[in-house]
Structure 1
Amino acid sequence: MADPGLPRPAAALTSLVRDIHAAAAEDAMPELTFAAYRDFADTGNRLRYEDRYFRRRARLAARAAQALLDPGADLGPLADTLWSVCGEYSWALPAHERHGTRPEQCVDLFAAETAHTLAETVAGLGERLDPRVAGRVRDEVERRVFAPYADERPLAWEGFGNNWEAVCGGAVGMAALALLGGSPGDRERLGAMLDRSRRAMASYLAGFGDDGGCAEGVDYWVYGFGYFVYFAEALRAYTGEDLLAAPKVREIAAFPHRVALGGGAYVPFSDGSERPWLPAGLLTRLSERFGTPPPSVVPSLHDDHCYRWGHLSRTLSWHRPLPVPDEAETSSYLPDLGWAVHRGRYAFAAKGGHNDEPHNHNDLGHFVLHTHGESVLDDLGAGEYTAEYFRAGRYDALQPSALGHSVPVVDGQAQLPGRDRAAKVLHHGLDGGTLCFDLDLTSAYRVAGLRSLVRRFRWFPEGRLELTDEIDAERALPIDEIFISRRRPVLSAASADWDGLVRLVRSLPQASVEELLTTDHHGRPDHVYRLRCPVLAPAGRSVHRFVFELR
């Protein structure tokens, strides 16, 4: 059972508590109309419904936190909110309902999170909450989530080996810990549900290599690993077993720090972002357990646009001041992912991997150049999630397509998706301070006459990248070398210049710049500039060298 209430939060969280009170005071709960619900099926648009859904979750999380922080709080508004959430047609998102047989019993990420929020709220408030409200909450959690979870039939996400397993298994497991266990029959049922959650956690961990790297990017590390840690610590409190003791977990805990670019920026590969939000409670607990850096930013309630109870409640419960460890290493290499990162005054990152990763982008050999707090040669991260983004039309979207990355187009052919489209790491190492990273990209392409394409990076920490593409061809092949930025480069006969931040030093007689207007992950306009530098690879072996200078 959950402990009643929440502990008095650390003084550093004063602004977070203020955010909670302000959000709890807002009156209206956005209505989830049928028109909004059917929008995804009719148009493929997710954002219009999800905006309303997550504003409702903001009210729920804020009012639950306020009630659990303040024993004297008026529970009337929270009771109304709980009652309203219990009346929703489905706790799952319309985009996810294909993962269940019935919408109202679809255990997706957000149905599981909703059950977790409601369960810990009701358990924590105990007799303070009107029994009619508490009884309805328990009934709805049972009907919508516990019943399908206790059923032995497989759930759609079991076996995914990604964030779904950790979030769904962790959130349902924590909900069960909060509400079950009061009778022998309950305890037996709880044990079976916890076993299912343990299996989900084992599958989640199996999705990582020994380097602890998260192919989905830092944002999804926060999501999946966050819920893994929250469940692991709840399970440890209940049984004494420690899922965090698994050897791989220490490496996973270090992942975001190994792909940091500096100043709060991180490598934005896959469906990630350059400035992800890292929950303060999660970082605190990992720092205590593994010595990783503690949080350096005071959190806001609105950092998480989905208003997840796991992140909020554990930040309120766990966050405390901790000493900052010694300076982290400047160079990181994740051999299972095939990511190389170097940070300092300037930062550089490049990736290998394969083109069937979770939240995959066709991006073998892609790289980022970071200066003055910005990735100038950039990765676009996640696009707007629509129906087609996770179906056959995924690579028609700019962000996951090869044409949205700084990788070559060979004889008009971009990189292809698939597990067999893999970069082979030929070499990685430091040579007198210079980072050397060589990748064989040949299998990424299906081009008649292309025998091999090897991309070599030489990164000099003083702000210089030498990029060399070595091509072996049976016939002459036209190559478009592509470089992606959100800044428009200015071209001259001997260079391309991105606002004085990065300069490409090379004769560019045929180079051109394309302006592309897309939408970002949140549906906002996103201007992208694609520099095309045509070269001709003659029959036989040829070398094509590009030098970038950072300022």
Structure 2
Amino acid sequence: MTEHEEWEKLTESLSPLRADDYYPENGGGTAFWKSLREAPDARAELEAIRDEGERLLSSPAEELTYSLFSLFAVQGSRLEYERVYFEKRRRLNTFAFLSLLEPDSETYEAALWDAIWAICSEFTWCLPAHVDANRPVSETIDLFSAETGFALAELSLLLGGRLPEPLRVRIAELVDERLFRPFLEKGPFHWEELTNNWSAVCAGSMGSAALLLMEEMQDHARLARILEKTERSMSFYLQGFGEDGACPEGLGYWNYGFGYFVYYADLLLKRTRGQRDWFREDKVRRIAGFQQKSFMGGRLVANFSDTLPYGSVHRGLSHYLAARYAGVETPPASLHADYREDHCSRWAPALRNLIWRDRAAAGAEEWQDGDFVFEDAGWLISRFTAAGEAFGFAAKGGHNGESHNHNDLGHFMLAGGGKFFLSDLGCGEYTRDYFGEARYRYDCNGSQGHSVPIIDGCYQQEGTERSATVVRCETSEEVCRLDLELSGAYEDGNLRSFERRWVWNKTDLPSLSLRDEFRFTEAPERLTERFVTLIRPEVAGSGLLRLAGGDMLMLELHYDPKRLEADVRERTYRDHYGKDTVWYALDFRVRQPETDLGVDFLFKFVTQ
């Protein structure tokens, strides 16, 4: 029997999903929302949703005009259209939750019907940045069109008979027209074989919507085809992870891509009554443990790639994974994402933050200390607590051809007391150029904005062939050591080798020693060591810079002034939300470059 025949046979026997499949047994939706409404531990969360409801009721809904849609083609900017687009999803989510929590409220219900109507009336559910000039808009499926279809399909099921029939019919028509038919008849789409978040979100949303809406016997053949294609894309998605479970795209895209993988896998498990279970895969279990290893103390995240420096957790996804896998920790309550935090206003995680929350789960105040080595990704992340503070160190190898790539081989971060002292700028403002040929001119993407050397005026180059080699990696209770060979990152025929060595001493107040060893065929004209920080440095003496993080904790940077000339440069970049942000390049120019040379630095935490 072929794989397609197996799917057809399986779908013939499937019973439709019911709203009660979403809720705890012996309860149902009415009992769940009543219980949640009265739960003391949910008070703050529900208050945020109600506050949003009041704000939105007093604000006129904006429309997605052609002028907004055309801005990306004209000037390459995305934020103007996306602000209105995501606010419409915020209206949908907020009034859906309030209608479920307050089923007798005619005000919330009317606002919800208007929100659904408005989204059903959009010219396209795709973002302008994702519209392909070589494909009709009506045949385009992107992340957000797939998410929108999934959200509407899920609402149709959860609202049941409350949803007016014209809206129910229109949702089914549009999801079929904008998602199912193009997926089955107008593919393949570029994302079907991607090994990043796109395959998980697009295919996962597609498969989930089909599991929710295709419930009649005559639908089983189309459902079988959609699930077969979805499963294939999910296999490609998992190929983007090594056996170590690390997400090279960073924690933000783990939440996004792996989240949608889990939402789909859960619905598939439910509708097949356990016959198809992705959660049995060892690789999925290892990926599930990535989140807890990514934090460097408090909300600080090892934010390699296009990831924000301060992270939070989706409580629902986190509790679901902790309940399923023994090695996954329940996250600290202080890290739970606020309802308003997701500027994209995604329905699927917001819903599961409410229905998957484990009210009995009490996470510790902080993740457990640990040293985490990701052999496939070439990362080392160390987190430990000393003198009442959390400290973190993270360094990376890998290659410069990763999804959402930054040219950052040998880059590292240092954190203590809830602040970054040496930083990664993370993701900048997404524009046309940001994902185009100009990508590495942005400081947050090019090596000029990372803590790596500038060799003879040259920055690192992009490409999978630009890779690092792990020479040595050792961890113990007292010390972590990582040695990387990094010459392959640079297009410099004169550079014979470049080895970077970190020794992270986990004492009461930790320190990090860094040694770079270079070998050239001929002595270079220039060699500059660069470190990145958001803290304005102070010159504290000869060979000493000091970064004051506030309160009592500081980081001292020790260097040899006879061999190195220090220079501090203030620079700016536009962050992910379009805000100009100041950062400082700490440059140390080698006074007399030689064919063989070593450069040493000591980073030492001290108190004032």
Q: Conserved in 2, the CA contact under 8 Å of 1:261 and 1:343? A: yes
Q: Conserved in 2, the CA contact under 8 Å of 1:19 and 1:301? A: yes
Which of 346, 356, 363 is matched with 1:308 structurally? 346
- In structure 2, the partner of 1:235 is 268
Residue segments in structure 1 that go unaligned for 5+ positions in a row = none
- Does residue 264 of structure 1 match 2:293? no
Distance 2:559 2:103 in 1: 68
- In structure 1, the partner of 2:88 is 56
Distance 1:230 1:15 in 2: 25
- Offset at residue 222 of structure 1 (A): 0.2
Tell me which amino acid in the other structure corresponds to 2:79.
Answer: L
- Offset at residue 120 of structure 1 (A): 1.1
- How is 1:77-476 mapped onto 2 (pairs within 5 angstroms)? 77-98=111-132, 101-151=135-185, 153-181=187-215, 183-239=216-272, 240=274, 241-291=276-326, 292-295=328-331, 296-297=333-334, 298-320=336-358, 321-324=360-363, 328-345=368-385, 346-430=391-475, 433-462=478-507, 463-476=510-523
Distance 1:80 1:61 in 2: 12
Between 147-156 and 335-344, report the one with greater CA deviation: 147-156
- In structure 1, the partner of 2:573 is 518
Between 515-524 and 103-112, report the one with greater CA deviation: 103-112
Runs of 4+ in 1 over 6 A off after TM superposition: none
Instruction: Give secondary structure in 1 for the equivalent of 2:384.
Output: coil
- In structure 2, the partner of 1:42 is 74
Instruction: Give secondary structure in 2 for the equivalent of 1:29.
Output: coil
Distance 2:571 2:367 in 1: 39
- Offset at residue 199 of structure 1 (A): 1.3
Distance 1:531 1:329 in 2: 30
Instruction: Give secondary structure in 2 for the equivalent of 1:266.
Output: coil
Tell me which amino acid in the other structure corresponds to 1:494.
Answer: G
Tell me which amino acid in the other structure corresponds to 2:384.
Answer: G
- In structure 2, the partner of 1:489 is 537
Distance 1:53 1:104 in 2: 18
Tell me which amino acid in the other structure corresponds to 1:385.
Answer: Y
1:448-470 alpha-carbon deviations (Å, 9 max, x no partner): 32111100111101211110000
Distance 1:355 1:206 in 2: 18
Q: Conserved in 1, the CA contact under 8 Å of 2:68 and 2:80? A: yes
Q: Conserved in 1, the CA contact under 8 Å of 2:297 and 2:415? A: no
1:420-465 alpha-carbon deviations (Å, 9 max, x no partner): 1101000000267211100000111112321111001111012111
Tell me which amino acid in the other structure corresponds to 1:221.
Answer: W
Distance 1:537 1:235 in 2: 64
TM-score under structure 1 normalisation?
Answer: 0.96
Query: Cα distance 1:153–1:105, how it changes in 2: closer, same or farther (>3 A)?
Result: closer
**Aligned Cα RMSD in Å?**
1.8
Between 91-100 and 168-177, report the one with greater CA deviation: 91-100
Q: Conserved in 1, the CA contact under 8 Å of 2:191 and 2:198? A: yes
- In structure 2, the partner of 1:534 is 589
- Offset at residue 17 of structure 1 (A): 2.1
Instruction: Give secondary structure in 2 for the equivalent of 1:303.
Output: coil
Distance 1:446 1:82 in 2: 53
Distance 1:102 1:340 in 2: 45
Distance 2:321 2:467 in 1: 33
Q: Conserved in 1, the CA contact under 8 Å of 2:292 and 2:367? A: no
Distance 1:392 1:282 in 2: 36
Query: Cα distance 1:299–1:435, how it changes in 2: closer, same or farther (>3 A)?
Result: closer
Instruction: Give secondary structure in 1 for the equivalent of 2:191.
Output: coil
Q: Conserved in 1, the CA contact under 8 Å of 2:369 and 2:384? A: no
Between 294-303 and 54-63, report the one with greater CA deviation: 294-303
1:146-180 alpha-carbon deviations (Å, 9 max, x no partner): 21122262112111111111111111211112211
Distance 1:300 1:367 in 2: 29
Distance 2:476 2:48 in 1: 49
Q: Conserved in 2, the CA contact under 8 Å of 1:427 and 1:438? A: yes
Instruction: Give secondary structure in 2 for the equivalent of 1:448.
Output: coil
Distance 2:219 2:592 in 1: 70
Q: Conserved in 2, the CA contact under 8 Å of 1:61 and 1:309? A: yes
Distance 1:540 1:494 in 2: 24
Tell me which amino acid in the other structure corresponds to 2:558.
Answer: V
Distance 1:343 1:135 in 2: 52
Distance 2:134 2:346 in 1: 22
1:87-139 alpha-carbon deviations (Å, 9 max, x no partner): 11110100011287222332111001110111111222222122112212221
Tell me which amino acid in the other structure corresponds to 2:399.
Answer: H
Tell me which amino acid in the other structure corresponds to 2:270.
Answer: A
Distance 1:445 1:85 in 2: 48
Distance 2:268 2:162 in 1: 26
Q: Conserved in 1, the CA contact under 8 Å of 2:566 and 2:589? A: yes
Between 304-313 and 99-108, report the one with greater CA deviation: 99-108
Q: Conserved in 2, the CA contact under 8 Å of 1:496 and 1:504? A: yes
Distance 1:461 1:352 in 2: 22
- In structure 1, the partner of 2:556 is 503
- In structure 1, the partner of 2:24 is none
Distance 1:118 1:83 in 2: 11
Instruction: Give secondary structure in 2 for the equivalent of 1:343.
Output: strand
1:221-270 alpha-carbon deviations (Å, 9 max, x no partner): 00001111111111100011211111101110111211221112220111
Tell me which amino acid in the other structure corresponds to 1:117.
Answer: A
- Offset at residue 327 of structure 1 (A): 6.6
Q: Conserved in 2, the CA contact under 8 Å of 1:90 and 1:105? A: no
Query: Cα distance 1:96–1:416, how it changes in 2: closer, same or farther (>3 A)?
Result: same
Tell me which amino acid in the other structure corresponds to 2:347.
Answer: W
Between 403-412 and 489-498, report the one with greater CA deviation: 489-498
Distance 1:36 1:118 in 2: 24
1:313-340 alpha-carbon deviations (Å, 9 max, x no partner): 1111110132548973421100001001
Q: Conserved in 2, the CA contact under 8 Å of 1:438 and 1:457? A: yes
